[in-house]
Structure 1
Amino acid sequence: MDNKQPIGIFDSGIGGTSIWKEIHNLLPNEATIYLADSKNAPYGEKSKEEIIHLSMKNTDFLLDMNCKLIVVACNTATTNAIRELRAHYDVPFIGIEPAIKPAAIHSKTQVIGILATKGTLNSELFNKTTEMFYHTKIIEQIGYGLVELIENGQMETPEMTQLLHSYLNPMIDANIDFLVLGCSHYPYLIPQIRKIIPNHIQIIDSGLAVARQTQNLLNEIGFNPDNNNQPIFYTNTNPTVLETILGSKYNVQEKDF
């Protein structure tokens, strides 16, 4: 394997850029290719079969770009498809799951909240994870409509504020002390969430943990020694929102896949 091969990262849309940023910050020498399947977002409302099909399509695209490993920067795709991906392809995969474990271990109230997509919360992998922490009350909330608003660049709108209040207020009333963000889109909502929840409630997402896991895997397969790699971003819809989130520094290419 050539160490200079890029890391491939895909998500149902722009949300996985929150994971890409953590990877890029920790591993700035690594070449990265990011794939935003925004045309099919959100994955959370799709069937398991559809999610597997889309995940394989994204993987094929990234492997055609000669990627040495694939980061599935989508909770829904990880919890529904990563087992099939690992069985089908001879390339390392890194997934992203809701960080239930650190929240459950450190919770003092023994009540934690998780905001995630329907596809993640209904998955077999997620249910197996939560069963391990039976001593903790886990308040699950599907984030209906959140991904669609984020994908449309409507992160700071009255509609978003109203939805977040309706999802978070019952968790606050139930005395949670940790809020787990179970979708890679949701870290972009942290500024709005912070305005709603009390200061003592800690917010946990999986971005840094995924970056560290990527670093650990590269210890086995080899790091890229170059530091002049310009990240490449692809989307199959209008790139405006993705460009806004990333900033003018990066080039986003619209491509049908």
Structure 2
Amino acid sequence: MKIGFFDSGIGGMTVLYHALRLLPKDDYIYYADTLHVPYGEKSKDDVKKYVFEAVDFLSQQNIKALVIACNTATSVVAKELRKKYSFPIIGIEPAVKPAIIKNQETGNRVLVLATSLTLKEEKFNNLVTKLDSDHIVDGLALPGLVKFAEDFEFNEEIVLPYLKSQLGSYKLNQYGTVVLGCTHFPFYKDMLKKLLPEQVDIIDGGIGTAENLKRTLKETNSINEGIGAIEYYRSGVKVENEQTLQQYAKLFERLHQI
């Protein structure tokens, strides 16, 4: 049986990258909802509809677990998905808790980079309200990074000016941690490092999500059931174009380099 991965686009591959390192002897099916990407600027009802359509498809592909490798989808619909499907569903959310714990001690602030919908969602705001007693968390939506990633745009001359313009109004030396609250954003970690002061660390939930997946499979004795093969689907259509598959392989190479 395969492990299902779902995202609105290619962002979830940053989580799949960690899963492949932890679980190299399992097989995967990756579903990118490219017809409807990006999710972060859409309504909750639309996102729910798209996610249920995708997971209905994946449920028919003999999967033993599902990773919702999309912060927006997790925040909007993960709870409802778990009520409908019997296989384990592992979500991802911005790594706010470790960032707050670290920076409460230092007095530095935390900047959460995410999509507009994630930052507006009740789940995220409840988490911040519960943990952020010192009010050190700020949020910034970066929809342009999602578009850049979906266009396979990693040219610094194009991306860096966008990041500079978005971060320009923030006093970055006041921050201790930047949280990448969208799975598309780790593709640009190297560029963010060029703009952030040296003391600022960058974290995301991808590694923790992959570790959670491994723990879940161990608990159900369903680990190491494959050869590390990956099937890709774009809104229900299997990806067989060699050029596209090569682009996906290059994304893993990029993550390995940064």
Same fold (TM over 0.5): yes
Corresponding residue pairs, total: 246
| RMSD of aligned residue pairs (Cα, Å) | 2.2
The answer to whether residue 80 in structure 2 is matched with residue 65 in structure 1 is no
Give 5+ residue unaligned stretches, structure 2: 253-258
Cα distance in 2, alignment partners of residues 184 and 39 from structure 1: 18
The residue number in structure 1 matching 2:250 is 247
Indicate how the Cα distance of structure 1 residues 242 and 139 shifts in structure 2: closer, same or farther if over 3 A, else same.
farther
Cα distance in 1, alignment partners of residues 112 and 121 from structure 2: 14
Cα distance in 2, alignment partners of residues 146 and 247 from structure 1: 18
The answer to whether residue 223 in structure 2 is matched with residue 224 in structure 1 is yes
The answer to whether the Cα contact below 8 Å between 2:9 and 2:34 also exists between their aligned partners in 1 is yes
Amino acid at match of 1:131: T
The answer to whether the Cα contact below 8 Å between 1:112 and 1:139 also exists between their aligned partners in 2 is yes
**SS of 1:188's equivalent?**
helix
The residue number in structure 1 matching 2:118 is 120
The residue number in structure 1 matching 2:128 is 130
Indicate how the Cα distance of structure 1 residues 112 and 242 shifts in structure 2: closer, same or farther if over 3 A, else same.
farther
The answer to whether the Cα contact below 8 Å between 1:31 and 1:224 also exists between their aligned partners in 2 is no
The answer to whether residue 42 in structure 2 is matched with residue 33 in structure 1 is no
| Structure 1 runs (4+) greater than 3 angstroms displaced | 169-174, 224-227, 236-243
The answer to whether residue 92 in structure 2 is matched with residue 93 in structure 1 is no
The answer to whether residue 147 in structure 2 is matched with residue 148 in structure 1 is yes
Equivalent residue for 1:19, pick from 9, 15, 22 = 15
Percent identity of paired positions between Structure 1 and Structure 2: 33
1:242 CA drift (Å): 6.2
**SS of 2:113's equivalent?**
strand
The answer to whether residue 237 in structure 2 is matched with residue 234 in structure 1 is no
The answer to whether the Cα contact below 8 Å between 1:112 and 1:137 also exists between their aligned partners in 2 is yes
Give 5+ residue unaligned stretches, structure 1: 250-257
Amino acid at match of 1:111: R
TM-score (norm: length of structure 2): 0.88
1:174 CA drift (Å): 6.1
The answer to whether the Cα contact below 8 Å between 1:121 and 1:142 also exists between their aligned partners in 2 is yes
The answer to whether the Cα contact below 8 Å between 2:173 and 2:197 also exists between their aligned partners in 1 is no
Amino acid at match of 2:81: L
1:13 CA drift (Å): 0.3
The residue number in structure 2 matching 1:252 is none
The answer to which of 219-228 and 179-188 deviates more is: 219-228
1:247 CA drift (Å): 3.5
The answer to whether the Cα contact below 8 Å between 2:110 and 2:176 also exists between their aligned partners in 1 is yes
The answer to which of 75-84 and 231-240 deviates more is: 231-240
The residue number in structure 1 matching 2:199 is 200
Cα distance in 2, alignment partners of residues 136 and 19 from structure 1: 29
The answer to which of 149-158 and 95-104 deviates more is: 149-158
**SS of 2:183's equivalent?**
coil
Equivalent residue for 2:39, pick from 39, 43, 46 = 43
